[in-house]
């Protein structure tokens, strides 16, 4: 594979039916003592060891026409026998992971992240490389195009051909989509943006482009007005059911329900479309916060093993705060809609007693083994650095606004993080954000951080929101689907209902317990995740009637609960009770007074 670059790759969908990419790596000047090759164990942005090398099916090497022996050193590293000329390595990669994190190939499309398909040549990771991306063979695929932000070297726009990257780090930060996706182009702050939608859908893509243009412009303004990218691509995969995103420097990969995309004639975004806009907004905010403003611990990334930082409450939490906030600030959604979404986040945090045991700094550090490996006990043991991190950001923002008389806000903190770290390529030390907040605000926020970031106290949202004319209250859940939201004006109060306090899923006719919260009647009785409920109070209890049956029992009375645990019938003494007040309602105070109203306008950037 002769080329001017010292490293070049060729990748081709070899068998779409067998989900195999054929990849060749050409190393012009292999290491004299034998070239070592490695593949990442994880992909930046998703803090879990995924061992992408397990999908390499076969691998061989040669020098000209002579075979070169290859020895495997560990799960993701190979050493080639020394050779005198250029080294060529051929391998097959299995791609059947329909997520934003790996590779996927079938007769409808191909998608890959470089971390799944491109072996790194050890010691030469800083070298520029060329990538020849070939189309699949066959008339059926003549219409396939290619969407990526990899710079083109010898390829038509949206076409197969040769692309380039300045280094291995750059190479793996531009995922590639190939197939018959739909395209919508738009401009934001003078920079070309593009949406590529893969999968069946009937979305109003012009509406989507308009809304995304507003959101992108809002984020660019927050960070000072200049987009630090020449182009941006939203790579969307629309499926029946799915949700997820992964950020990159100049693009993001997103998976969504096709029903969450806007339908023609859609007015104010419903919950599904709002969720999708929030996801796009989230990944775009990452363009600064984590892709360019980076924890010092990630500079450079060590992709062979876990790398721990306490700062994900900033890089994911602050991003989660600004994702929805930007939607209301740019006018894509109404303040009431924003409060609905915010209330659901508060409820999600309040539902887990893990928040009283783990701080968001600890949750960040242990993301690899805890947040990314959640089991049935997760809500009792850990806190989400996304959800609580967003509430910490909200409390911090409102505190700074209050204590500086509106002169400073979290927006100034983000802008300064960009100027001092992101724009200058300087990683953020573990205590860097806390010091910078004090510096930018002129306040001493030590107590705030020790309570809500390193400690496990709940941020004082009720008094802080009151200062911007927003009411908050916590009440008992009215059913398993009740996550709170906007308080309905003048709605009659429904009385609390007795509950067993466990979360469950429907399996056939059964209610199968999935989560037993600390302190719940279910836990006191001894019920466990995996138990299938058969009867309560001697009566058949299934997924269809469990809630109603429990709600009708007299409070304080203990009744038998029959369950199958594995294949054993067990009887427990259950005493249902009212659920705790962990469901959040928010509302806009209609007459908050001039001062609070002014603060609300400054916070939401809204005149209404």
Site residues, Zn ion (CB under 5 A):
316
Entry field: residues in the chain:
608
For 59-91, letters b (16+ CB in 10 Å) and e give bebbbeeeebebeeeeebbbbbbebeebbbbeb
257 alpha carbon, distance to own chain's centre: 15
Find residue 59's DSSP bridge partners: 91
- Report, in Å, the least distance between residue 248 CB and Zn ion: 12
Shortest spacing between CB 294 and Zn ion, in angstroms:
13
Candidates 343, 387, 347; CA nearest to 580 is 347
- Residue least distant from Zn ion (Cβ): 316
| Spatial distance between the Cα atoms of 83 and 31, rounded to a whole number of angstroms | 9
Nearer to Zn ion, 260 or 283 (CB): 283
Q: Which is nearer to Zn ion, 97 or 316 (CB)?
A: 316
Contact (Cβ atoms closer than 8 angstroms) between residue 517 and residue 348:
no
Smallest gap from Cβ 290 to Zn ion, in A, equals: 7
Nearest approach, Cβ of residue 146 and Zn ion (Å):
26
Provide the minimum distance between the beta carbon of 286 and Zn ion in the complex, in angstroms, as a whole number: 6
Give least dist CB 442 to Zn ion, A: 30
Among 364, 411, 409, 398, CA closest to 383: 364
Q: Which is nearer to Zn ion, 245 or 580 (CB)?
A: 245
CB of 396: closest distance to Zn ion in angstroms? 18
Provide the 8-state DSSP code for 85. Answer: S
Name the residue nearer to Zn ion (CB basis): 249 or 401: 249
Which CB atom, from 288 or from 510, has the smaller least distance to Zn ion?
Answer: 288
> Looking at beta carbons only, is 314 or 472 nearer to Zn ion?
314
Q: What is the DSSP letter of 516?
A: -
Asked if 20 contacts 12 with a C-beta cutoff of 8 angstroms, the reply is no
Q: What's the rounded Cα separation, in Å, for the pair 262 and 276? A: 9
Q: Where are the alpha helices (DSSP H) in 112-260?
A: 114-117, 168-171, 205-222
Query: What are the strands, taking DSSP E only, across 84-212?
Result: 87-94, 103-105, 109-112, 120-121, 129-133, 145-147, 152-154, 161-165, 176-179, 182-188, 191-198
| Cβ pair 249, 167 in contact under 8 A | no
* Minimum CB distance to Zn ion, residue 99 (Å): 14
Least separation in angstroms between residue 321's CB and Zn ion is: 11
Q: Which is nearer to Zn ion, 3 or 324 (CB)?
A: 324
Q: Work out how close the CB of 515 gets to Zn ion at its nearest, in angstroms, rounded to a whole number.
A: 24
Q: Which C-beta is closer to Zn ion: that of 181 or that of 386?
A: 386
Strand 176-179 and strand 145-147: pairing?
antiparallel
CB of 39 to Zn ion, least distance (A): 24
Question: Of 395, 261, 271, 244, which Cα lies nearest the Cα of 333?
Answer: 271
Q: Which sign does the torsion angle of CA 149, 155, 157, 158 carry?
A: negative
Q: Round to whole Å and give the CA distance between 61 and 82.
A: 11
Q: Which helix (H) or strand (E) holds 175?
A: none
Question: Closest distance between Zn ion and the C-beta of residue 341, in Å?
Answer: 16
Compare residues 285 and 452 and give the one whose CB is closer to Zn ion.
285
Closer by beta carbon to Zn ion, 223 or else 504:
223
Residue among 580, 583, 535 nearest 559 (CA): 535
| 3-state class (DSSP) for residue 256 | strand
Q: Give whichever of 88 and 316 is closer to Zn ion, judged by the CB atom.
A: 316
Q: Cβ closer to Zn ion: 281 or 379?
A: 281
- Cβ closer to Zn ion: 37 or 312? 312
Compute the least distance from the CB of residue 112 to Zn ion, in Å. Answer: 21
Q: Could you tell me which residues come within 8 angstroms of residue 468 by beta carbon, excluding any fewer than 6 positions away?
A: 398, 401, 592, 596, 599, 600, 603
- Nearest approach, Cβ of residue 253 and Zn ion (Å): 12
**Residue 316 vs 547, nearer CB to Zn ion:** 316
Hey, which residues does 133 pair with through a beta bridge? 11, 161
Whether the ω angle into residue 300 lies within 30 degrees of 0, i.e. cis, is yes
Q: Which two tokens stand for residue 557?
A: 């009375």
- The count of other CB atoms within 10 Å of the CB of residue 180 is 11
| Cβ 313 to Zn ion shortest distance, Å | 12
Nearer to Zn ion, 146 or 387 (CB): 387
Rounded Cα gap, residues 47 and 229, in angstroms:
25
């Amino acid at each position: 594979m002769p080329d001017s670059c010292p490293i070049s790759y060729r990748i081709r969908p070899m068998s779409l039916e067998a989900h195999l990419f054929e990849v060749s790596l050409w190393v012009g000047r292999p290491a004299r003592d034998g070239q070592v090759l490695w593949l990442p164990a994880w992909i930046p942005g998703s803090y879990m060891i995924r061992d992408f090398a397990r999908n390499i099916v076969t691998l061989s090497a040669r020098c000209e026409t002579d075979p070169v022996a290859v020895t495997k050193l560990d799960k993701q590293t190979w050493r080639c026998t020394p050779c005198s000329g250029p080294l060529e390595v051929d391998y097959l990669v299995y791609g059947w992971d329909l997520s934003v994190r790996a590779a996927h190939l079938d007769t409808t499309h191909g998608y890959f992240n470089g971390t799944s398909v491109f072996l790194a040549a050890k010691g030469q990771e800083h070298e520029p490389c060329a990538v020849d991306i070939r189309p699949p063979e066959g008339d059926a695929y003549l219409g396939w195009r290619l969407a990526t932000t990899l710079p083109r070297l010898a390829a038509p726009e949206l076409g197969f051909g040769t692309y380039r990257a300045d280094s291995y780090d750059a190479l793996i930060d531009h995922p590639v989509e190939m197939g018959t996706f739909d395209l919508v182009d738009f401009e934001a702050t003078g920079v070309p943006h593009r949406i590529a939608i893969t999968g069946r859908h009937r979305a109003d893509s012009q509406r989507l482009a308009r809304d995304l243009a507003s959101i992108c412009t809002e984020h660019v303004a927050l960070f000072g007005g200049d987009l630090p990218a020449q182009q941006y691509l939203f790579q969307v995969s629309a499926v029946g059911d799915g949700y997820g995103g992964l950020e990159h420097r100049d693009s993001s990969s997103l998976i969504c329900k096709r029903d969450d995309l806007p339908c023609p004639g859609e007015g104010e975004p419903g919950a599904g479309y709002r969720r999708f806009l929030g996801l796009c907004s989230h990944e775009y905010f990452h363009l600064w916060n984590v892709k360019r403003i980076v924890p010092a611990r990630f500079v450079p990334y060590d992709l062979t093993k876990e790398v721990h930082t306490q700062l994900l409450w900033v890089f994911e939490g602050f991003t989660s705060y600004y994702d929805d906030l930007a939607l209301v600030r740019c006018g894509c959604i109404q303040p009431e809609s924003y409060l609905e979404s915010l209330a659901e986040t508060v409820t999600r945090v309040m539902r887990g007693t893990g928040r009283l045991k783990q701080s968001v700094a600890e949750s960040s550090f242990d993301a690899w083994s805890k947040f990314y490996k959640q089991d049935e006990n997760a809500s009792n043991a850990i806190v989400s650095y996304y959800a609580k991190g967003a509430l910490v950001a909200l409390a911090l923002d409102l505190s700074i606004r209050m204590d500086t008389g509106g002169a400073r806000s979290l927006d100034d903190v983000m802008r300064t993080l960009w100027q001092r770290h992101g724009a200058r390529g300087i990683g953020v030390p573990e205590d860097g954000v806390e010091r910078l907040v004090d510096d930018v605000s002129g306040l001493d926020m030590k107590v705030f951080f020790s309570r809500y970031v390193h400690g496990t106290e709940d941020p004082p949202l009720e008094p802080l929101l009151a200062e911007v004319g927003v009411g908050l209250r916590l009440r008992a859940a009215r059913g398993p689907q009740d996550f709170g939201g906007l308080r309905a004006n003048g709605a009659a109060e429904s009385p609390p209902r007795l509950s067993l306090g466990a979360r469950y899923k429907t399996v056939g006719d059964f209610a199968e317990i999935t989560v037993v919260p600390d302190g719940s009647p279910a836990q006191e009785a001894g019920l466990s995740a995996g138990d299938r409920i058969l009867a309560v109070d001697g009566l058949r209890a299934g997924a269809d009637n469990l809630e109603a049956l429990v709600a009708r029992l007299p409070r304080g009375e203990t009744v038998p609960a029959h369950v199958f645990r594995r294949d054993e019938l067990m009887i427990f003494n259950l005493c249902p009770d009212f659920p705790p007040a962990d469901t959040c309602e928010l509302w806009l105070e209609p007459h908050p007074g001039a001062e609070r109203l002014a603060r609300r306008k400054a916070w939401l950037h809204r005149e209404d």
